[in-house]
Amino acid sequence: MASGYMASWYEGLVEEARLAALTLLDRAEDLASPTLRLGITGLSRAGKTVFTTALVHALTRGGRLPVFEAMHEGRIARAVLEPQPDDAVPRFAYESHLDTLMLERRWPESTRRISELRLAIDYAPARGGRRTLTLDIVDYPGEWLLDLPLLDQRFADFAATSLRLAREPARQALAAPFLAALAQVDPAAPAEEGEARRLAALFTDYLAACRAEEVAMSLLPPGRFLMPGDLEGSPALTFAPLDLPEGAEPPAGSLAAMMARRFEAYRERIVRPFFRDHFARLDRQIVLIDVLAALNAGPAALADLEAALDGILAAFRTGRNSWLGSLFRHRIDRVLFAATKADHLHHTSHDRLEAILRRLVERALARASDAGAEIDVVALAAVRATREASVKRGRSELPAIIGVPEAGQYDAADFDGMAEAAVFPGDLPEHPGALFDPGRGGFRGLTDATGGDFRFLRFRPPLVERNAEGRVLPLPHIRLDRALQFLLGDRLR
Amino acid sequence: MTRDTDRPTPGPSAAGHAEGFRARDGRRPQAFRLDDPDVVLAEEGLAVRRGAVVVTPAPVLPEPEEELPLPPSPPEGSRWAALFWTGLGGLVSMGLGLAVWKLIEDLFARSDWLGWTATGFAALLVVAALAILGRELFGLMRLKTLNRLRLAAARALLHDDRREAEGVVAELMTLSKGVPRLFRARSELSGHLGEIIDGADLVRLAERHLMAPLDAEATKLVADAAKRVSVVTAVSPRAAVDLVFVLLTAVSLVRRLALLYGGRPGALGMFRLFRQVVAHLAVTGGMAAGDSLIQQVVGHGLAAKLSARLGEGVVNGLLTARLGLAAIEVTRPLPFAALKPPALADVASGFITRAEKKDAPNRPD
């Protein structure tokens, strides 16, 4: 296998050289006009689109951002949308998302593919003068990050890992149809397209079932199976893991060989270009995480989220830019983990939410601070949909939130999407360890027969407020300014 | 009936889950529709029936109208003055009691390089002196410009003259170029300049944009100075000490206000500015008759009898506050038109309330 080893070593070298060349090109452009590439990602339903829309809205409209120094000190003159640099990447549909949010009071459609937006920020450095910072916002599904570990895997590794996951107790019931079909398939049999399609469809169904609200699993590679974009139905997405005998090469022309070939195509044609053209060029990254959904669903979902985050975090090439190294190699030097939808909680629980998130990304925190990257954790709501209240019932008093719940939510047929309701979602534990400790029972999710310990409802976006002159006021938020300060503050000094 | 999204609140049976954190709280998720007849909003102020669920919305904090005043920036040290003192210090240290020229000659007689060094220091002295002179002149000219600008703005306001107003705003924009925190305000304003706005409105617009943040800071400067003076006067052991302190505070206050509003006063400029301030004080009168504070001051006559030091502190503080307000009017490049000038109550409230609190127990009923 020496030749194979040499070949992959050579390929790796070529890949590195390509990356270095791209970086050099970026740096040259940077000299002409300083540019910052901000990646916004998160697993689906974490609120990427809302966050991006709110961020652009706050910057262009000059929202209430007291913690964002440059804005508060009045040093940002304006921020305007500009034509984006990459012609082959779709533009983030900011205007239509904003209309959906403000006029229709609906949450915008979720991110299904990568999109970009370019903002030019005119500002005055604290010591005077005038500068322009170009901010490129790259919004992409977090599921794609889960694919990055596949770059180092062969089909056999992938099949073993994903089948092990599918046979875990929390997933076994959902994976039953796929596993049953798999049991009747002989990997060494001659390849047949119909068989491959059937298996791939069952595999995709299983992955999709894991995403339902009651289960809320997160670690579901390959990411494009759930977010196919324009690749739907192409052979690169028509494969599934197989039970392969240990160590044996599949015979040529067999089903296993075809699946392996397609897996390689997926890796080389889909995952690698994404890594090279987009991910490896980022400077700053925010990872949005919907911790509350996992709490809704139960301990298995939380454990799964932790595993998924670990996978995501392994992908970051974090580390401070050294002077020479930065010429040839991009490194993300700041990563912010944000627990979104903090407005679904009373503010007294925000610190606890942050503690839970910190516990989830603990391993990554240790690894990245070794590498020199700055990492922070925040509980935020890019658009705040609720206000706070306290509810007194008999002698007990509950910290609650008031908002308009969306119609037709699980187990809550009472909500018509019009009436306001005061909601007490449950108490977050003081010490996050209590959630992760299976020995003490952990907590109960919605799948539990006795009902969940938490119930976070989805709320409709807030009513648009206008001031006396009828001008639309900036959208309310929670700690969006802190996130901006962390991600952009040092570049606007 | 309240409708719970989930199961109803647990009865005693829920106590079976003794593990984990929930044993501590035992509170289950619940939801209440606000239009439910059993749910009462506390803000309606109705008598609450037994068994009803009371929802008290958290008070919505009013958005601050204006941004918080920024911390005052420290006055920057002057490089030329430093050079001046370097040069002078160099000379003085080289020959106390010798005439400079003689000293240099003597030094040349001793060795050439010593002589040249002395010459160098002398040259430094001359250069620095020239530079300082230039700065003084520049400061005076800037003072004149500001005075002229104020007059022109007042005229534009009076006659609603667009051309004069445009001139004023353009000049104001150039003046404020050195202030980074006005960058946003400036560019917003320049966006408005293309629109059709009448002369007086234009001046008012410029005032709102460019002066509002500076006014807030100026008010804070004056209030701080007044408070400091009143405290120091109240606790200082000797009259001479607080006299010196009041004078120093007044001078530095006027200087900082001038700097804030774009003036660059040197020594001569300060002298002239101070004269203007005092003249302004004389014109407006030490105390405005309509000021509600006057009763307080009369009241403090009583306080002064009881505690002379405290009364003096209040009076000195009030004086400083007055002086500061006059200085604002004199140093501000625009007259107050769109914005309200800070009143004595704005800058003096800090130490008046403090004094009142302090002497409340002394007050005879």
Q: What's the complex ipTM?
A: 0.71
Q: What does the block give as tokens for B257?
A: 């206000």
Q: Give the gap in angstroms from C-alpha B262 to the nearest C-alpha of chain A.
A: 15
3-state helix, strand, coil in chain A (%, to 5): 45, 15, 40
Q: What does the block give as tokens for B274?
A: 């101070």
When CB atoms are compared, the residue of A78, A391, A430 closest to B32 is A391
| Cβ pair B222, B347 in contact under 8 A | yes
Beta strands (DSSP E) in chain B are 30-33, 39-41, 53-57
Q: Could you give the angle at the alpha carbon of A378 between the alpha carbons of A142 and A406, nearest 5°?
A: 65
Task: Decide if A387 and B58 are in contact by the 8 Å CB cutoff.
Answer: yes
Task: Decide if A453 and B56 are in contact by the 8 Å CB cutoff.
Answer: no
d(CA B192, CA A145): 46
Beta strands (DSSP E) in A162-231 are none
| Cβ pair A392, B54 in contact under 8 A | yes
Q: Give the gap in angstroms from C-alpha A490 to the nearest C-alpha of chain B.
A: 17
Give the residues of chain B that fall short of pLDDT 70: 1-26, 43-51, 59-78, 93, 95-100, 194-198, 283-309, 350-365
Q: Thinking of the domain A2-145+275-384+477-492, which architecture would CATH place it in?
A: 3-Layer(aba) Sandwich (3.40)
Task: Decide if A388 and B30 are in contact by the 8 Å CB cutoff.
Answer: no
Measured from the Cβ of residue A54, the count of other Cβ atoms closer than 10 Å reads 25
Task: Decide if B67 and A426 are in contact by the 8 Å CB cutoff.
Answer: no
Q: Chain A partners of B34 at a C-beta cutoff of 8 Å?
A: 402, 419-422
Q: Could you give the angle at the alpha carbon of A137 between the alpha carbons of A131 and A138, nearest 5°?
A: 150
CA dihedral B237, B242, B244, B247 (to 10 degrees): 180
Q: What does the block give as tokens for B106?
A: 């003597």
Token pair 């700065």 is found at B135
d(CA A184, CA A186): 7
One digit per residue, the tens of pLDDT, for chain A of length 493 reads 455 566 667 777 787 788 788 778 777 777 767 889 999 998 878 899 999 999 999 999 887 787 788 887 788 988 999 998 888 889 999 999 999 999 899 999 877 788 999 999 999 887 778 889 999 999 998 888 888 888 888 899 899 999 999 998 888 889 999 999 999 988 888 988 999 999 999 999 999 898 887 778 888 788 888 888 778 888 888 899 998 887 778 888 899 999 999 999 999 988 888 888 888 888 899 999 999 988 888 888 888 888 888 877 777 654 444 444 555 566 788 889 999 999 998 887 888 898 899 888 887 677 766 666 788 888 999 999 998 888 888 788 888 999 998 887 755 556 778 888 888 888 888 888 888 776 555 677 776 767 778 888 889 999 888 877 777 888 888 889 889 989 998 888 8
Q: Chain A partners of B180 at a C-beta cutoff of 8 Å?
A: 73, 75, 124-129
Residues from B in contact with A at Cβ < 8 Å:
2-3, 5-7, 17, 19-22, 25, 27-35, 39, 51, 53-58, 60, 63, 67-68, 70, 178, 180-188, 213
d(CA A116, CA A127): 32
Helix (H, G, I), strand (E, B) or coil at A405: strand
Task: Decide if B182 and A437 are in contact by the 8 Å CB cutoff.
Answer: no
Task: Decide if B27 and A396 are in contact by the 8 Å CB cutoff.
Answer: yes
d(CA A239, CA A193): 10
First to last CA, chain A: 54
Helix (H, G, I), strand (E, B) or coil at B123: helix
Q: Chain A partners of B59 at a C-beta cutoff of 8 Å?
A: none
Q: Closest chain B residue to A394 measured between Cα atoms?
A: B51
Q: Give the gap in angstroms from C-alpha A491 to the nearest C-alpha of chain B.
A: 16
Q: Closest chain B residue to A453 measured between Cα atoms?
A: B28
Task: Decide if A130 and B183 are in contact by the 8 Å CB cutoff.
Answer: yes
DSSP state of A46: S
Task: Decide if B181 and A78 are in contact by the 8 Å CB cutoff.
Answer: no
Task: Decide if B31 and A424 are in contact by the 8 Å CB cutoff.
Answer: yes
* B34 closest CA partner among A342, A398, A415: A415
Q: Closest chain A residue to B5 measured between Cα atoms?
A: A412
Q: Chain B partners of A423 at a C-beta cutoff of 8 Å?
A: 5, 29-32
Residues whose CB is less than 8 angstroms from the CB of residue A96 and which lie 6 or more positions away in sequence, other chains included: A108
Q: Chain B partners of A213 at a C-beta cutoff of 8 Å?
A: none
φ, ψ for residue A450, nearest 5 deg: -90, 0
Q: Chain A partners of B6 at a C-beta cutoff of 8 Å?
A: 411, 451-452, 455
Q: Closest chain A residue to B210 measured between Cα atoms?
A: A74
**Which residues partner with A34 through β-bridges?**
none
- For residue B232, which amino acid is it? V
Q: Give the gap in angstroms from C-alpha A286 to the nearest C-alpha of chain B.
A: 27
Q: Chain A partners of B63 at a C-beta cutoff of 8 Å?
A: 64
User: From residue B206, how far is each of A96, B154, B192 by CA, in Å?
Assistant: 35, 13, 10
Q: Closest chain B residue to A71 measured between Cα atoms?
A: B184
The 3 state secondary structure assigned to chain B is CCCCCCCCCCCHHHHHCCCCCHHHHCCCCEEEECCCCCEEEHHHCCCCCCCCEEEEECCCCCCCCCCCCCCCCCCCCCHHHHHHHHHHHHHHHHCCCCCHHHHHHHHHHHCHHHHHHHHHHHHHHHHHHHHHHHHHHHHHHHHHHHHHHHHHHHHHHHHCCHHHHHHHHHHHHHHHHHCHHHHHHHHHHHHHHCCCCCHHHHHHHHHHHHHHHHHHHHHHHHHHHHHHHHHHHHHCCCHHHHHHHHHHHHHHHHHHHHHHCCCCCCHHHHHHHHHHHHHHHHHHCCCCCCCCHHHHHHHHHHHHHHCHHHHHHHHHHHHHHHHHHHHHHHHCCCCCCCCCCCCHHHHHHHHHHHHHHHHHHHCCC
* B179 closest CA partner among A133, A60, A74: A74
Q: What does the block give as tokens for A263?
A: 């897996």
pLDDT of residue B46: 54
Measured from the Cβ of residue B56, the count of other Cβ atoms closer than 10 Å reads 17
Token pair 């007086």 is found at B200
Residue extents of the structural domains in chain A = 2-145+275-384+477-492, 150-267
* A190 closest CA partner among A123, A275, A250: A250
When CB atoms are compared, the residue of A124, A387, A437 closest to B180 is A124
Helices B308-331 & B212-235 angle (0-180, nearest 10): 160
Task: Decide if B60 and A425 are in contact by the 8 Å CB cutoff.
Answer: no
pLDDT of residue A287: 92
When CB atoms are compared, the residue of B3, B34, B213 closest to A414 is B3
Q: Chain B partners of A392 at a C-beta cutoff of 8 Å?
A: 53-56
Q: Chain A partners of B25 at a C-beta cutoff of 8 Å?
A: 427
Peptide bond into B10 cis (omega under 30): no
Task: Decide if A74 and B184 are in contact by the 8 Å CB cutoff.
Answer: yes
Task: Decide if B35 and A419 are in contact by the 8 Å CB cutoff.
Answer: yes
